[in-house]
Amino acid sequence: MVENTVAATNAVVTLDAAIPGIIWGWMITLNMWAKSIGTGVILIGAYLLYRHKHESMPNLRWLMPVISFVALNVFLFFTLIDLHQPLRMINIFLHPHWTSAITVGAWMATLFTGLITLLALIGTMDQFPDFRRHCKVGKWARDNTEVYEKIFPYVVFLAIPVTLYTAIIMAESSARELWQAPTEMMQMLLAAFLAGSATLIFIADDWKVEVRKDLALVLAFSTALGFMMYMGEYFFSFKSAEAEVTLTYIQSGGAYSGQFWFAMLAGFVAPFFLSISAMKSDNTTILRFAAIIALMGLYLAKDVWLKIPQLLPLS
Cα(89)–Cα(224) distance, rounded to whole angstroms?
Answer: 38
- In terms of CB distance, is 118 or 293 closer to another protein? 293
> CA 26 to CA 162: how far, in whole Å?
20
Please give the size of the binding site for another protein, defined by CB under 8 A.
71
Restricting to residues 22-61, name those near another protein by CB under 8 A.
22-27
Choices 154-162, 180-188, 224-232, 258-266 (CB under 8 A): range interacting with another protein = 258-266
Shortest distance, position 227 Cβ to another protein, whole Å: 18
When asked if residue 310 is in the footprint of another protein (CB under 8 A), the reply is yes
- Smallest gap from Cβ 21 to another protein, in A, equals 4
77 lies in the site for another protein, by CB under 8 A: no
Is 78 or 193 the residue whose CB approaches another protein more closely?
78
Distances (CA, A) of 204 to 35, 207, 211, 244, 304: 21, 5, 8, 43, 31
Rg (CA), the chain: 22
Is the CB of 119 or the CB of 304 nearer to another protein?
304
119 CB-near residues (< 8 Å, 6+ apart): 64, 65, 148, 151, 152, 155
Exactly one of 33, 256, 272, 305 binds another protein (CB under 8 A); which one? 256
Range 159-198, binding another protein (CB under 8 A): 169, 172-176
Residues 270 and 264: their CA atoms lie apart, in Å, by: 9
* CB 50, min distance to another protein, A: 35
Type of residue numbered 232? G
Under the criterion CB under 8 A, does residue 76 sit at the interface with another protein?
A: no
307 is a contact residue toward another protein (CB under 8 A): yes
6 binds another protein (CB under 8 A): yes
- Strand, coil or helix: 262: helix
Among 50, 53, 55, 99, binds another protein (CB under 8 A): 99
Q: Which is nearer to another protein, 124 or 310 (CB)?
A: 310
What is the nearest approach in angstroms of another protein to the Cβ of residue 155? Answer: 24
- The Cα–Cα gap between 45 and 147 comes to 17
- Please give the angle made by the CA atoms of 244, 302 and 85, to the nearest 5 degrees: 105
- Render 143-166 in DSSP notation, one character per residue: HTTHHHHHHHHHHHHHHHHHHHHH
Shortest distance (Å) from residue 69 CB to another protein:
24
Pick the piece of the chain touching another protein (CB under 8 A) from 6-14, 117-125, 230-238, 278-286. 6-14
CA distance 288 to 265: 17
User: Counting contacts by CB under 8 A, is residue 294 touching another protein?
Assistant: no
C-alpha span between 206 and 58 (Å, rounded) = 8
